[in-house]
């Protein structure tokens, strides 16, 4: 597969809105996705927090970047000061796959609404908006050497590849899930058809335990696949959307979490039994291995210029890569 991507940055064409319930709080959440200037990236705005910001609206801003991750238990939560937003991964998977580089996401709560537990409602929202090309070129993180992250029996590896490919594998002891594998060359249409509708899942006794601890208060059979106590069926009356819906949802989570690097990736991700915690560790491993990637800027004629060499890789890239990706190359030379 030849790596083909629009060289220009994009934002949403018009503001779009939805309303749902927060998975853990059980509260109603209003969400809006609005256009944003080129080079501003994806930003969340907590409109319920009274604080002025540079967007012309009232609320606390949290940038969707890996250096803002504050919690990876149950979901990926990002934060800045007192402002946090959890369950970001499904929305971010839709946004990045739809090809949106810059947007302001307004929420009036500390959670992105869970909707039906998948990314499909968010993808439909984005399709209702459409996207608008901006007069700035995209930057791509091109993997040039293998990078591997290992956490006990969990492993994630990325290798050079002429495209963006994700391969996932999970292994459970129960009869329903067992071992499942999936591999996808990621583009918008394949994501919509094969991944976007896959829902989050959990064992019914785990959900009950979360309820007892004041969590997952918004979790119902409308937004979570509840695996039966017998481990061979689900409680959801309509059953599964895909026979292997579990690994497909894990793929969705990977795509959403990895978008927190801040730009598209050219490489092949291979994940084994990974979750949100491993996804963050994997991104940190990438950031700390600048000798294994190039940051390239696309041009209209399909060529690109390598701009990663403007900095010294003697610094830990955890301190460098994110500010670099958020700034212009000129500004990034003087961190």
pLDDT reported for residue 308 = 47
Domain membership flag for residue 299? no
Q: What is the CATH number of the domain that holds 151?
A: 3.30.1700.10
Whether 16 and 118 map to the same domain: the answer is yes
Whether 52 and 154 map to the same domain: the answer is no
Whether 188 and 73 map to the same domain: the answer is no
What confidence tier does 139 reach under pLDDT thresholds 50, 70, 90?
A: very high
Domain membership flag for residue 247? yes
Q: What average pLDDT score do residues 20-41 get?
A: 95
Q: Which of 119, 136, 153 is the last residue of a domain?
A: 136
Q: What is the CATH number of the domain that holds 61?
A: 3.30.230.20
Question: Which percentage of the chain shows pLDDT scores above 90?
Answer: 74
Domain membership flag for residue 314? no
d(CA 30, CA 38) in angstroms, rounded, equals 25
Whether 248 and 127 map to the same domain: the answer is no
What confidence tier does 24 reach under pLDDT thresholds 50, 70, 90?
A: confident
Domain membership flag for residue 310? no
pLDDT reported for residue 183 = 98
Residues of 300-325 as b/e, b for ≥16 C-beta within 10 angstroms?
eeeebeebbeebeeeeebeebbbebb
- Higher pLDDT among residues 25 and 186, named by residue: 186
- Give this prediction's pTM: 0.89
Residue 52 scores a pLDDT above 70: no
Do residues 59 and 47 lie in contact, with contact meaning Cβ atoms separated by under 8 Å? Answer: yes
249 is catalytic: no
Residue 127 scores a pLDDT above 50: yes
pLDDT reported for residue 333 = 24
Q: Which of 103, 136, 169 is the last residue of a domain?
A: 136
Domain membership flag for residue 330? no
Residue 82 scores a pLDDT above 80: yes
Domain membership flag for residue 3? no
Q: Which of 83, 103, 136 is the last residue of a domain?
A: 136
H runs (alpha helix) in the chain: 89-98, 120-129, 188-190, 204-212, 245-258, 276-287, 317-326, 329-332
Residue 90 scores a pLDDT above 60: yes
Q: Pick the catalytic residue from 24, 249, 276, 279.
A: 276
Whether 147 and 258 map to the same domain: the answer is yes
Q: What average pLDDT score do residues 62-90 get?
A: 95
Domain membership flag for residue 197? yes
Whether 44 and 115 map to the same domain: the answer is yes
- The total domain count for the chain is 2
pLDDT reported for residue 217 = 83
Whether 116 and 252 map to the same domain: the answer is no
Query: Both tokens of residue 293?
Result: 């990637």
Whether 83 and 151 map to the same domain: the answer is no
pLDDT reported for residue 131 = 97
Segment 189-200, tens digit of pLDDT: 999 999 999 999
3-state secondary structure of 330: helix
Whether 158 and 53 map to the same domain: the answer is no
What confidence tier does 245 reach under pLDDT thresholds 50, 70, 90?
A: very high
Domain membership flag for residue 324? no
Range of the structural domain that residue 170 is part of: 142-287
Whether 121 and 155 map to the same domain: the answer is no
């Amino acid at each position: 597969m030849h790596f083909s991507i629009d060289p220009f940055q994009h934002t949403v064409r018009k503001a779009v809105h939805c309303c749902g319930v927060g998975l853990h709080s059980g509260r109603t959440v209003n969400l809006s996705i609005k256009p944003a200037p080129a080079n501003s990236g994806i930003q969340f705005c907590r409109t319920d927090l009274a604080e002025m910001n540079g967007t012309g609206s009232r609320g606390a801003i949290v940038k969707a970047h890996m250096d803002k991750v504050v919690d990876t238990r149950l979901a990926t939560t990002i934060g800045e000061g007192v402002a946090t937003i959890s369950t970001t991964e499904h929305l971010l998977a839709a946004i990045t796959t739809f090809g949106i580089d810059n947007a302001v996401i307004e929420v009036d709560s500390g959670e992105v609404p869970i909707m039906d537990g998948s990314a499909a409602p968010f993808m439909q929202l984005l399709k209702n908006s459409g996207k608008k090309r901006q007069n700035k070129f995209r930057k791509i993180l091109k993997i040039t050497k293998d990078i591997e992250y290992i956490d006990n029996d969990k492993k994630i590896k990325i290798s050079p590849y002429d495209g963006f490919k994700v391969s996932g594998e999970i292994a459970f002891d129960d009869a329903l899930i067992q071992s499942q594998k999936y591999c996808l060359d990621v583009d918008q249409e394949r994501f919509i058809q094969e991944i976007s509708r896959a829902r989050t899942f959990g064992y019914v006794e785990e959900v009950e335990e979360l309820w007892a601890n004041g969590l997952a208060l918004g979790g119902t059979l409308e937004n979570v696949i509840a695996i039966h106590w017998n481990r061979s069926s689900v409680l959801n009356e309509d059953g599964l959307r895909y026979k292997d819906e579990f690994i497909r949802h894990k793929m969705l989570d990977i795509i959403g979490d990895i978008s927190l690097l801040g730009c598209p990736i050219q490489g092949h991700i291979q994940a084994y039994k990974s979750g949100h915690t491993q996804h963050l560790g994997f991104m940190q491993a990438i950031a700390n291995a600048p000798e294994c990637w190039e940051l390239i800027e696309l041009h209209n004629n399909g060529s690109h210029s390598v701009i990663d060499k403007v900095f010294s890789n003697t610094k830990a890239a955890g301190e460098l890569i994110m500010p670099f990706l958020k700034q212009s190359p000129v500004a990034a030379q003087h961190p």
